[in-house]
Amino acid sequence: MTNPPTGRLVPTTTGTDLVISRSFKAGIDDVWASVTEPERTARWYGRWTGEGGPGQIIKVQMAFEEGAPWMEMRVDVCEPPRRLAVTSVGEDGWQLELVLTEAGGRTELSLVHHLPGTEGVGEIGPGWEYYLDMLVAAREGTPQPIFDHYYPSMKAYFEELRP
């Protein structure tokens, strides 16, 4: 069974942030490793190659997309174990950020997709819900979620968030 969508839209001075969070009963360093170490990202998103670090270009394989395509990402910010910001290289130029906080033996991970507006959020939101649930499944050793349970069923939820 798929969890209900949790994403929210936050207006910014440059557009809109789509924010989706998950909480883990784990230390921040362990969760950071799940989102930055190539062998661990391969379990829920895809592996990556290259020299990680601010200003560097890495290649990321979207292992759970049709054809498992590779894309280039520029590392904009890397502040272990609290913040990672990347921008996809190419015409889309997606700007993504992962922010981690720890309190009381739990780590909160927020994925922030910086959008120029709210166009397409009905497609984008369900995808990130799916990938974050993939991360949960990879960490907990539970079965992987099925993308068809996220889209198109969550599309209306995200479109209704638009102002």
Name every residue whose Cβ is closer than 8 Å to that of residue 16 and which is 6 or more positions away in sequence.
9, 10, 115, 116, 117, 118, 121
| pLDDT tens, residue by residue, 24-51 | 999 999 999 999 999 999 999 999 999 9
| pLDDT tens, residue by residue, 134-150 | 999 999 999 999 999 99
Q: What is the pLDDT of residue 17?
A: 98
- Residue ranges of the domains in the chain? 8-160
Q: What is the pLDDT of residue 2?
A: 83
Instruction: Judge whether residue 91 has pLDDT over 80.
Output: no
Entry pTM: 0.95
Provide the pairing of β-strand 83-88 with 106-115. unpaired
Q: Name the region of 45 (left: φ>0; alpha: ψ -120 to 50; beta: rest).
A: alpha
Backbone angles phi, psi at 55, to 5 degrees: 85, -10
pLDDT confidence of 60, banded at 50, 70, 90?
very high
CA dihedral 20, 24, 26, 30 (to 10 degrees): -40
In this prediction, residues 71-90 reach a mean pLDDT of 97
CATH class of residue range 8-160: alpha beta
Side by side, the strands of the sheet bearing 95-103 are 8-11, 16-24, 106-115, 95-103, 83-88, 70-79, 57-61, 48-49
pLDDT confidence of 1, banded at 50, 70, 90?
low
Q: What is the pLDDT of residue 92?
A: 80
Rounded to the nearest integer, the mean pLDDT of the chain is: 96
Q: What is the pLDDT of residue 90?
A: 86
